[in-house]
Homo-oligomer: A and B are copies of this chain.
Amino acid sequence: MGKERLLSLDTTCREDKQVTREIAAVALEKDKTVAAFDRLLVKAMLKGVGNPPISIRLWNNEEIRPEGASGGERLVIRDRRALYQLILNPELHFGELYSAGRIDVEGDLPALLASIYRAINRPDTAWLSFLIAKWRKRSRRANTLSRARRNIHRHYDIGNDFYQLWLDREYAQYTCAYFPGPDMSLEEAQEAKMHHVCRKLRLRPGLSVVEAGCGWGGFARFMASKYGVKVRAYNISHQQVLHAREKVKSEDIAGQVEYIEDDYRNIHGDYDIFVSIGMLEHVGIENYGELGRVIDRCLKENGAGLIHSIGRNQPGLLNSWIEAKIFPGACPPSLGQMMNILEPLEFSVLDVENLRLHYALTLQHWLSRFEGQQDVVRQMFDEHFVRAWRLYLSGSIAAFTSGQMQLFQVLFTRKHNNDLAMTRAHLYG
């Protein structure tokens, strides 16, 4: 599984490679010198991403430090061709080049990436992001049942052992935790997140819950054991479902939890509660109407639901490298886009909470555990994989810190349901 994925991590888009080769054929010299033209290209590249305050060191150790650069973080470009590739498509090639070790970062990787994120969407570069987004939107493929299964397979089936190295131990939550206290451990914060969601949904013994996208099954076990509910949990990742079924076997709640290897579109039955944590990112905007109808079909008259998802401040697409290499088919929605799930069916939105900075904290925990286990990961896969995942985790920290990404929890009920908590004080008792 891991090997198959590694191959795909190693391949850049064929078209881009071709263009790069042509430029390189003209300009590439075998020596290690830096020409005036190269320096111009570096400045053009920095300008193209909004002139972030970062220093660049080139393959001959020459340093280019723009005005305002603190010098704390430094991008190292190890060969001329890497520079050309960065200029052609920085969003896509940064990840490839970093993974291959042809560019590197000295200093704090998340901090460097955050300063790029902060710079990149300033008004003078916004048109570029807009054009790229337009083009990518046109070329984006819909998440059909079979493509959804392939996409999920590529990310989640690379091995349960790998994720267990750096996720929280008991519940393996691969989603944003909740840190009501800043010094909480990852384990405490993931439990706090699950309690927070259960309290928002006012779970109580006897209720029936359907979970769409259940990961390794941790939250379903948590709801059953801590809140006494019955859960049917859906997931299309074969590896995750196997793990979840194995894990629940030995527990008292085995009769209360059922894991089903199937797509959310095939959910059937009547439930008091619909909950989905970290699945919507993989659904695809084009399927939101259908997701709404699935919820409408399976929710009882006095039902309530919660969707927890990475989101954005305005419609747009995921970083293209992450979409191509880490999360195929993923697309985090704006809050307005999320309303396309709920408004056609007249669901009533009760509460939206944005936990963006909690995701940055969660990712810092993950990154630190990942780094602590990097030798094990290198043995499981290879150096390219270690670097790719370091960049993905660091880039995600940067995206949540800089406000590039949001984390929305949206609580809703059916229109006529008046069995509501009058205030949210019960979440903070």
A-to-B contact residues, CB < 8 Å: 118, 121, 179-180, 182, 313-315, 334-336, 339-340, 342-344, 346-354, 356-358, 401-403, 406, 408, 415-418, 420, 422-425, 427-428
A361 CB, min distance to chain B CBs, angstroms = 9
Complex contact B425–A403 (CB within 8 A): no
Complex contact A422–B335 (CB within 8 A): no
Decide: A416 near B428, CB < 8 A? Known: A336-B340, A347-B313, A348-B354. no
Complex contact A425–B354 (CB within 8 A): no
- CA of A313 to CA of B165, assembled, Å: 43
Complex contact A346–B415 (CB within 8 A): no
Complex contact B348–A351 (CB within 8 A): no
A-side interface mostly: mixed
Complex contact B315–A422 (CB within 8 A): no
Complex contact A351–B349 (CB within 8 A): no
Complex contact A403–B343 (CB within 8 A): no
Report which residue of A121, A358, A425 has the largest number of chain B beta carbons within 10 angstroms of its beta carbon: A425
Complex contact B313–A353 (CB within 8 A): no
Q: Which of B121, B313, B347 contacts A348 (CB 8 A)?
A: B313
Q: Which of B340, B403, B416, B424 contacts A415 (CB 8 A)?
A: B403
B contact residues around A182 at 8 Å (CB): 422
- CA of A401 to CA of B419, assembled, Å: 11
Complex contact A348–B356 (CB within 8 A): yes
Report which residue of A182, A357, A417 has the largest number of chain B beta carbons within 10 angstroms of its beta carbon: A357
A357 CB, min distance to chain B CBs, angstroms = 6
Decide: A343 near B314, CB < 8 A? Known: A348-B403, A352-B352, A402-B416. yes
